[in-house]
Amino acid sequence: MLETIDNSVGYNFSISENQELIRKMVSDFAEKNIRPNVMDWDEAQHFPVEVFKQLGELGLMGVLVPEVYGGSGFGYQEYVDVITGIAKVCGSIGLSLAAHNSLCTGHIMAFANEEQKRRWLPKLATAEWLGAWGLTEANTGSDALRMATTAVLDGDQYVINGAKNWITHGKSGDMAVVMVRTGEKGRAGGISAIVVERGTPGFTAGKKENKLGMRASETTEMIFDNCRVPKENLLGVEGEGFKQAMKVLDGGRISIAALSLGIAKGAYEAALAYAKERHQFGQPIASFQGISFKLADMATEIECAEMLIRQAADLKNRGLPMTKESAMAKYFASEVAVKVSTEAVQIFGGYGYTKDFPVEKYYRDSKLCTIGEGTSEIQKIVIAREILKD
């Protein structure tokens, strides 16, 4: 575990007393309220809304929200601790926690006006309301500028038509920040961000995805059929939605990186404990070089991933540019999560392939981290663009 790094660039990742308390609180909560139910929720694809209400009572649904709006007012280092700590026990809960905090709530914090913040943030920060965020569509994943969902101003209302896919909390969310096309297709200036509240006529949930992993995190379509929304629900200025979304995703990449880190740590710790306990040929399998070298690689790559994440979080806290750093953190940490969980299954052998042991779920959950909020290939494009620009 990193304790202090203070290099020539000026990064300081020292662990505060507050962070230690948060880590213990998160760990205690996860062990008591999440771990006993992990496999039941996974098998049933049950989205445990009640858990998020409890997380709201602890202030963990508004980790970054200022206290004036009912949040905890913490920074990104604490936020990384929260997501990582939950994901060590269950990636699904970590994913939903991240989506609520960094996407929906984060978008409103960054781009809503004061009246909108006072209207929505207290409900989100306390988990009175669960938030969703809609960018992806069936035919426009990474190519978001060609989205088909439209919003046309009619008097004092926007009329929204279209559908969003792969939306976390698309059914259970009480509100959603939705990117819609208000201008010409293919132009960044043709996209706007509008908040749609659950219960608005014409706003319904569609198909729920039957996923490989992250099965306890709800993923559904959101459908808009002549859905009328007050123009006061527009975030910022019309035409700035795409630019807003890209800035939100910069912070979102830190979330997915932290999620990846938690999954990797959970898989590694399970494999380490098993390697010490499992005996073959009269000795623990951890004593065999083939196993010990796997564990060494896993531990090293986890440390490297955490350094990248802490660096991006530090820059975010200081309000400095971090597009490259967050993309690097997300890319590396997500790939490490897949590699570590794969090796964990290998260390467990046949047992690792069964649902009686925890590593098969880490293995399934990890893959989403290389896809959600920008694939590994998209992260490489972002990184390459940034370093070539420099």
Where in the sequence numbering do the catalytic residues fall? 373
Neighbour-count burial of 73, counting CB atoms closer than 10 A to its CB (0-12 exposed, 13-18 middle, 19+ buried): middle
- What one-character-per-residue DSSP string does 131-146 give? EEEE--BTTBSS-GGG
Look at the block and give the residue holding tokens 């929720």: 41
CB 124 within 8 A of CB 70: no
Radius of gyration of the chain (CA): 21
Strands 203-208 and 219-230: antiparallel
Give the SS3 label for residue 178: strand
Sign of the C-alpha dihedral, residues 285, 286, 292, 295? positive
| Neighbour tally for 152: CB within 10 Å | 12
Distance CA 223, CA 161 (A): 8
Which has the closest alpha carbon to 232: 271, 196, 202? 196
CB 205 within 8 A of CB 180: no
